[in-house]
Structures are given as C-alpha cells and as structure tokens.
Amino acid sequence: MARKGETKHSGVSKFLLGLREKTQNPPEEFPLLPLRELVLFPNTVIPVYITYKIGIDAVNEALKRDNRLFAACLKNDGPAGGRVTPESYRGETWPGGTVVRIIQNLKLPDNTFRVVMQGEYRGAIREKTVLDEYSLVKVEPVKIVNLANPPAPSEAALMRTVQKSFAQYAELSKKIGVDVITAVEKTENPERLANLIGNAIAVKAEKKVELLGIAATEDRLNAILETLSLENEIFGIQKNISGKVKSRMEKNQREYILHEQIREINKELGKNEGEDEFADLEKAIEDKNPPDEVLARAHKEISRLRKLQPLSPEAGVLRGYLEWITDLPWSDYSEDSLDLAEAEKILDEDHFDMRKAKERILEFIAVRQLTEKSGIKGPILCFVGPPGTGKTSLGKSVARALGRQFVRVSLGGVRDEAEIRGHRKTYVGALPGKIIQSMRKSGTVNPVFLLDEIDKLSSDFRGDPASALLEVLDPEQNSTFTDHYMEVPYDLSRVLFITTANSLHTIPYPLLDRMEIIEVPGYGENEKLAIAKQFLVPKELAENGLAEANIVFKDEAIREIIRHYTMESGVRSLEREIARCVRRIARGAVKKEYGKESGKPVSSFKKTVQPAALEKLLGRHRYKNDVVFKEARIGVTYGLAWTETGGTMLPVETIAFPGNGDLIITGNLGDVMKESARIALSYLRSAACRYAFLVSDIGKTDFHIHVPEGAIPKDGPSAGITLAASLLSTLCQTAAKAGTAMTGELTLTGRILPIGGLKEKLLAAIRNGMEQILLPEDNREDWAELDKEVRDALTVHFVENADEAFAILFDRGIHRKKAKKRMHTK
C-alpha cells in the first residue's frame, strides 16, 4: 500500500525516481529483445522461444558480443483485432527492463531460437538506435537502495510478512513450483526475494514493470506485499463464490453457475454498472420516461428479479412483466396534422357524403389547432349505421387525416372481461388486455383507436366486457386506466377513441352515455351510384388487372345492379356484384390476349357494360321488391321498418270474421308489436262513434292480423299506426290509398309518437315505389336534415294523431254521418 502522504506512481515514474541519482559508470549498449506480455526479473532463469525476426536478429547480435541483451516488455498488447504480426514487435517498449545473459541457446531448423536466459540487473533505456534488423539501446542500471545489513527488526518483519503472503498465494493459486517456493522461503537477500516473487506471481505485465522499476528495496517489498494481499483476497472471494454457487445448484447446471459467478464477482468488485443486464433493463425503462409511480414499481420488480434464480418460474413472469413496461409508449407522441383543408381533402377522397361524421372530425382538428398541446381530452365517437356504410374505413381515414397511428380492435363475440382488462400475473400465460396490447402496437400515446362492433359484446360467467369498457371510454377516468396485468395506471386520455355499431339497442346505457353518437345512415340510389363510379368501379378494375383497359359502366347498368342484385343500405354487396362483372370481363379480355406481349396497345381492349348485358354477367335478378301490391286492397296497409341491414317495407294484412272477439296475430311478431296491435284495436273500439264501421259487433268478431314473411322476426312500436289503419280498413271495408306508406307509434289515446331510422325507412319506400309517406309531426326536424334527393322523391304528410292519418289514408266515407243509421253486416 502507498504510504501516507505519498502518491501512487506508474512504472515509468518509478523508473525516473530510481534514476535520479546516476551511477558513475557510463551506460552500456545491448541489443534490444522486445517481449510480449513477459517481464524478466534479475536472479531468475527462464527459457524463452524466439520466433519473430527482430528477436532472432537481436539474439544473433548478442551471441556475437558477450551473450548479453536487454529484455523489455512491449507497451501495447497488439494491433487492433488481436492479430500479432512481425511488425508489431517493433512497437514501443516500457523504458524499464532487465539485462539478461544467454546461458544456453538452441537454433531450431526453422531458424528460430530456444534460449535460456538469466536476469542480471535492472536497468532503464537512456538512448535507442533503431537499425533495420533490430535496435540497440544504451542502458543505465537502476541504483538500488537496499536494506541495512543486518536488516532492522521492522525490515525483517516486512520480509517475513512478504514470504508468508507468498506462501499463501502459492497455496491458493496452485501454479507455483516447489523449487520457487523453497527458494523464496530460504532467501535472506531482500532484493533477491523481490525478484523471485515478482517473476512468479501471475499479474499483468504493466504491474510487473512497475514492481521492476522501484529503486528502494523497502518500497518494492511493500508494493509486492500489497499486490499479494490483493491477489489473495481475490482468490478468497472466488473460493467463497464457488462454494456458495456449488451449494445452491446441481452439478449439471454449468451455465447457471457461470452466470452466478459473474454476478457475485461484479457485486463484490462494484462493477454492476454497464455490465449488468438488469442495469440495461433499468436504463431502457428510464429512457421511456414513464410516470414516477411506474418507475418506482419497475425498480422494485428489478430488485426482486436480481434475487431470483434465472431458471425459476417467477423470474420468467417478472422478466415478461418488465419487458411489457419497456415496450409500452409512455411519452412518445405523434405530431398532429392541423391543416383543415388537407384533412377535409383526405376525408372526401376516401368517403362519399358522411357529412355529420366529417364535420365532427374537422371540429376536433380545429379545436386541437387552437389549444395546441394544452392537454385536450380525446373524444369518444360512436359511428352507428347499417353494415357496409364505411364506418370502419372512416376510422382509418381519420387517422390519416390527423397523421396519427391507427389501431383496430374487434369486439365482436368478446365475452371475457380479461380480454379488456387483462389477466393477473399469477395466472399461467397471463397477458395484458386488448387495450394495452394495442397501445404497444401503436407505439405512441395518442393513436386513433377503433373499437369495432361494440354492439356485439356479450357477457357470461367470465364477466361483462361492456362494464370493463366503462373506464376506457370515460374521458374523466381513462387517464388512470389500470390493467390487471400491469397493475399501474396508464394514461389513455390522449387517445382518439372511435367505436362502431350497427345498433344502439344492445349497448348498455352507462356505456352509451359515455360516447358521442354520430349516425352514419344508409345510402340512397343516387349516392350508391356516385360511390360506385368514384370508388368501387376504379378499385375493382385496378385489383383485377384492367386499370389500363377502356371499360365503362353505364349509369343505367349500375342502377340496375343496385335495384335488382343488391338489397342493403351499404355498398358491400354492390362492390361484390361489380367485382363479379369485372372478373367476367377479365376472362373475356384474356381470351382476346389482352395484357400479353402481342404488340397491341394497352387500351386496345374496350368494353361498355349496358343494362342488357347484366343478365349474362350476373345471372337473373336476385331481389324483387317487398310484398307490395300496386293496387289498393281492403285490410292491407304498408308500414316502414328499420333493421340492422337497412330499411324495409312492412305490409300488414287484416281480416275479420264472426267469433268471440279474439285478436289473432301471426307473422313472428315480438311482444311490443303484439301490444301495438291490441292498442290499435282498443283505440278503434273507443272511436267507433266517429267512423262508419260495417262490422255489427266488434265484441263478437275475431280479427286476424298477419305480417308477411313470417320466418323473419319483427318487433318494435313504430308499426302502431300501420296496424290501426289495417284494422280500420277491414272494419270499414274501405281500402287505403295505393302508394302510401306510414310509420309511427300509436298511443291508446290516438297520439302518434316519433320514430328512429328515418332515412333507412324512406329509402325502402323509394325502392318500392311509394309516393306518399305519413310521418309523426315530431320527426319534421329529422326530415329537414335529409338529403334533397330523398326529400324530392317523396310527398310527406306530418300527422300528430290517428284521425289526421286516417283522413289522408281514406276517403271521407269512412266517417260516421249523423243523419244516417249505422250499417250492419251479418
């Protein structure tokens, strides 16, 4: 150890200290023998193989002189890459070394030497002459400051301590020869003692050069004692580590033992930083800049993981958990595109119409532009509409318009609450829920997140996924969303959530209350025509290899496909039918060698799709109009119904015959619709004084109400006025006006209440050739928001009660005349 008040010097500095007092003898000149990782000491004999040219030339020169040369260790370990070349021996050596005498040499057949050298004295290079084959150096001996003779008690104690420490070192290392150990024990010369030990111990060459260069023998022995003590301590730690590891592990787990040894060695030496995989994991988590709570939890789990065996099951669980924390985005944002004009252009390019939905997205971008990064909460939008109207693809367009990442999660058929909130880590194969998984996939904290088919969620004994979504879709709560697997809050407030649904009836009210409903209504015929011309036809031509061909779909042909080959509110079936046409055309194009290297121009293939050609391309008409009679019939009226696939006509038929006053209802009707029929009959019985019934006694007459297409379930209150009109037509034996349809809920006192799904119902009326529509007065505002195309195609009457509706549906002859007697039928 360095004495108090002293500083620790390098090997070069020690040499300079040893040479402050020059000897009177002039420096001697010797050939230089550069050695790699080998330091020779005086009073020692060592065999060396000389296989490199500069060393061979130096030995040859020494043999010509007095068999003496100067052995010095090279400073560098070798060139980059570790490959040793002959030129690398011409590198710089340490200034200190040993003058050695060749006491035996053997020249081998390949011109290399095996020499036995004996160290004579220590010296330092004062001057160096570089020749072509070797170098000559002038060496000045180190002036040795030896111990007193006889040594003082303290000096004798120092020598004995060094000898004892070396004996312990030899016992621990098991690599020291018996003759060396004996020589060290018997020597009484302190300088010889230092040389023997310095040559025997296995330390780095730089350390040996340092020990070689210390002039004062006492200082030299102290340095050797410090080195031996450190090496003995390291041997003791290694032995202790090996004992601990061996007692914990089985003999065949060699890989585990190596890992444990490395870990314990790093722990004892304090070299964990930069060398520990756990430190790398900690750094990766810190680079993600998570909240303090998450960071503290991660440090705690890493600390637990350090104490576990790598092959234990719990270690695998913790490692997986920490990897999830590392992979999640905690502070990575994507910059929003705030160009309103560009966003509007993108939305219009991808989708036709959808005015309300597009306006809401543009409003969000405008507010975002005004608030910049002030922490605006992401809205929860719910697109509701029939299938095939572009709700899902609209979510992708929103992400493209905003410049955000897009992730989609399908909720159809999800029954397990853990699919949303994840599983506890204690379960085998546990994972986070779909929300956290999708956030990792997005890589940012502010993606556009589409929850598709939210109305198709269901529940069973595993929990209610809809309830688990309450926290996700609440802007006031989702900033601290906690997944069961992660167990730490995750901020979802920056996410733009978009949900889609075909119907709102199956969505629980608490969940529905958290969303902003945007209706995406079905398309009319003209809208479908525009969509087909702008989007569907070019898309199918490109996908089927006919983008460069001259193929034209006439408007009349597309209208024919819409009317007779599809029956939907969206355009999915229309796209399939157009694709079928294009594939048939592609087959004909191949027969005419279109696309082959025949020298024909690309646009040489021409085809115009006319209505007359559709039967050949698509077959006979697939759909006809609903069960609608063109002429007026007694007891037959037409209602309008809404389904998840769009609107449809709802014909109602009623007949009367003598009986016991029973009401027979058929047509696979639901409870609500059956109640509407009973309400209609009760209302008409209460209004018998105002209408000229031709039925003598309603109480002794049975009525049979039937709604055709009995295989299809039907339910809902909006058919109330239709059922009442059908009953009144039967009671008065008067047909309702032809080409008239109606919708509205009827109350027991004759009021007509508003209905939903107005556009889909009116589109169904247009498809079936209806001319006049009766709507509840409260739906007037909804009518005003409809497209001009729909409003121009129909004549609408708004009615507040049943009497107003009956006045429009029937002639005045159905009303009772006070001057005439009531007519009876038998």
How many CB atoms within 10 Å of residue 179?
8
Q: Measuring CA to CA, how many Å separate 561 from each of 47, 351, 767?
A: 100, 21, 13
At residue 83, φ and ψ (nearest 5 deg) are: -85, 125
d(Cα 395, Cα 453) in Å, to the nearest integer?
13
Q: Are strands 68-74 and 93-107 parallel, antiparallel or unpaired?
A: antiparallel
Cα–Cα distance measured from residue 560 to residue 614, given in angstroms and rounded to the nearest whole number: 8
Residues 638, 341: Cα–Cα separation, whole Å:
46
How far apart CA 764 and CA 773 sit, in angstroms, is 11
Catalytic residue among 718, 726, 729, 759: 718
> What distance in Å separates the CA atoms of residue 656 and residue 219, rounded to the nearest whole number?
128
User: Do the Cβ atoms of 366 and 340 come closer than 8 Å?
Assistant: yes
* Chain-centroid distance, C-alpha 533: 37
Say whether 674 is catalytic. Answer: no
Q: Is residue 150 reached through a cis peptide bond, with omega within 30 degrees of 0 on the bond before it?
A: yes
Residue type, 137: V
Report the distance separating Cα 651 and Cα 707, nearest Å. Answer: 6
Give the whole-angstrom CA distance, residue 17 versus residue 724: 121
The CA dihedral of 803, 808, 812, 818, to the nearest 10 degrees, is 10
Question: In 3D, which of 49, 67, 68, 51 has the Cα closest to residue 114?
Answer: 49
Instruction: Give the residue among 578, 562, 576 at the shortest CA–CA distance from 526.
Output: 562
| DSSP three-state, residue 493 | coil
For the chain, how are helix, strand and coil distributed in percent, rounded to 5?
A: 45, 20, 35
536 phi/psi in degrees, rounded to 5: -70, -50
Report DSSP letters for 646-683, one per residue: EEEEEEEEEEEEESSS-EEEESSB-HHHHHHHHHHHHH
Q: What is the chain's alpha carbon radius of gyration, rounded to the nearest angstrom?
A: 49
State the burial class of residue 367 (Cβ atoms within 10 Å of its Cβ: 0-12, 13-18, 19+).
exposed
The label of the residue with tokens 């009401």 reads 663
Question: What does the alpha-carbon distance between residue 244 and residue 106 come to, in Å, rounded to a whole number?
Answer: 50
Q: Are 769 and 741 in contact (CB under 8 A)?
A: no
Please write down the HEC assignment for all residues of 279-343: HHHHHHHHHCCCCHHHHHHHHHHHHHHHHCCCCCHHHHHHHHHHHHHHHCCCCCCCCCCCCHHHH
* Contact between residue 759 and residue 527 where contact means Cβ atoms under 8 Å apart: no
Q: What is the side-by-side order of every strand in the sheet holding 636-643?
A: 663-666, 701-706, 646-658, 636-643, 740-742, 772-776, 795-799
Single-letter code of the amino acid located at 350 = D
Listed in sequence order, the residues at least 6 apart from 716 whose beta carbon sits closer than 8 Å to its beta carbon are 641, 642, 670, 672, 673
Q: Residues 258-265: contacts with CB within 8 Å, 24+ apart?
A: 259/310, 265/237, 265/238, 265/241
SS3 695: coil
Is 718 an active-site residue? yes
List residues with catalytic annotation.
718, 761
